[in-house]
Structure 1
Amino acid sequence: MKDGTKAEYELLERLEKPFLALTADRVLDELRRQEHVTLEGYRITRLEHAVQSATRAERDGADLDWIVGALLHDIGDGLAPQNHDRLSAEVIRPFVRWDVAWVVEHHGIFQMLYYAHHYNWDRNARDHYRDHPCFDSCATFCERWDQASFDPDYDSEPLEHFEPMVREVFGRKAHGADVLRDGVISPLVA
C-alpha cells in the first residue's frame, strides 16, 4: 500500500463507490438470512427478534436512528456470538448518532442483568458504566426493546416495513458530523 500513487488511489476510490452504495443491500440480505436461524432453545428466529425490537422502538415513538439501531443491534450475532454487540455497533457506527452506536456496542453487558445470575456471573456488570452519559439509554433500550423481544406471539412489522429506514440510514455520508453528533444524548422515545 505504501507504494501506491495518488492516481492509483483515486482509481480505487472511484471503483469502490458502487460497492459502498450497496451497503444497505448487504445489511438487508444478512437480516433475510437470519429468518432461517433459530438457535436451539429459542422460540423465534434471529430475524423475528430484530423486527420485534425495531417494532417496539417504532411503536414507542423512537426516531429513525433508534429504530434502525434496534433492528440491527444483533446483526453481528451469527459471525461473532461472543462479541456480537461490538460487531453490530461497528456496522452502524458510521451512519447513526454516537449514542445509538454506544448503546448497541454495550447492550450485551447490560442484558446480563436479566440472566447472569443463572450462570453465577455478575448480573450488575453494567454498573462499570454507571457514570457514562448513555447508561440510562442502554438500560432502557434493553428493558423496553431487547429483552422483551423474544415473544412468539408479538405482532411485529415485517422486514419490508423497515427496509426504507435501513436504506435512508446507510444512504447517509459515513462519519458525517451532522449525523454522529458527538456528545449529544438523544431520547429513546418521543
Structure 2
Amino acid sequence: MKTVSFTQMKDGTKEDYDLLAEAERPYHALTPERILSELKRQNEDTLSGYKITRMQHGLQAATRARREGADIDWIVGALLHDIGDGLAPQNHDRFSAEVIRPFVRDEVAWVVEHHGIFQMLYYGRHYGWDENARDQFKDHMHFQACADFCERWDQSSFDPDYEMDTLESFEPLVREVFSRKAYDPAVLQEGVSRGLPPLQ
C-alpha cells in the first residue's frame, strides 16, 4: 500500500494529502456500518438498572418519532441520541451530537447535544441538582424543540412493553443520512428551527 512521504504533518505535500483523501474515501463510506454495529453492541446488556437495553431505548425514541411523522433527520437523531453512551457516559449527549452533526440539520444536532441537561427536569431533584438547569437556554431558538424531544421521545422510551420498530427498519435511513456530503449547508440549515411535528 502506498503511504505518505512525511513523519510530521507539517512536512506533507499536496500529493501526500491527495493520497490520504483518496485512501480515506472507503473508510468514510463505511460510517453507516460502524454506526449500526455500535447500536447492535448496545443491545448486549441492559442499561444499568433500566428494564431495556440502550439499543431498545434508541429504537423506541426513533419509533415514536417516525409514528409522529417526523422527518429523516429527527428519526435518525432520535435513534442515535445516546450513541455516545458507551464511550462517553458522562457527556454522551455532546459525544452523540458530534457523531451526527456533519450530516443532519443543525437543529437536530443542537437538540441531541443538549438533551442531557433538558432531561434533568425529570430527575435532577432526586440528586440535589437543578432540575431547571435547561432554563439557561430559554431564549435559544431550539429550546422548545429540545423540550419536546425530551418529553415526547426520550423520557418516555424506557418501556419493555412498547412495540418498537426493528433496527433493520431504520438501517436505510441511517445509510441515507450518513451518505450525505458532510457539512453540506443545504443539509445543516443553520438558523432554521422547525421544531417537532405537531401532535395529531
* Both proteins in one fold, TM over 0.5: yes
Q: Does 1:67 align with 2:49?
A: no
Q: Would you say the 8 A contact 2:103–2:180 is kept in 1?
A: yes
**By how many angstroms is 1:189 displaced?**
1.0
In the other structure, the counterpart of 1:117 is 125
**By how many angstroms is 1:7 displaced?**
0.3
In the other structure, the counterpart of 1:3 is 11
> Post-superposition, which runs of at least 4 consecutive aligned residues in structure 1 deviate over 6 A?
none
User: Residue by residue, what CA displacement relative to the aligned partner does 1:143-178 show, whole Å, maximum 9, x if unpaired?
Assistant: 000000000100000100000000000010000001
Unaligned stretches of 5+ residues in structure 2: 1-8
Structure 2 counterpart of 1:53, from 61, 75, 89? 61
User: Residue by residue, what CA displacement relative to the aligned partner does 1:116-163 show, whole Å, maximum 9, x if unpaired?
Assistant: 000111000000000000000000000000000000100000100000
TM-score of the pair, normalised by structure 2: 0.94
Distance 2:106 2:161 in 1: 33
Alignment of 1:1-190 (within 5 A): 1-189=9-197
Q: Would you say the 8 A contact 2:144–2:195 is kept in 1?
A: no
Distance 1:94 1:5 in 2: 27
**By how many angstroms is 1:41 displaced?**
1.2
Residue correspondences, number? 190
**By how many angstroms is 1:187 displaced?**
2.9
Q: Which has the higher contact order (CA 8 A, sep 6+)?
A: 1
Unaligned stretches of 5+ residues in structure 1: none
Distance 1:123 1:35 in 2: 29
Residue 2 of structure 1 aligns with an amino acid whose one-letter code is K
Residue 105 of structure 1 aligns with an amino acid whose one-letter code is E
CA RMSD of aligned residues (A): 0.7
**By how many angstroms is 1:188 displaced?**
1.2
Residue 151 of structure 1 aligns with an amino acid whose one-letter code is D
% of aligned pairs identical? 68
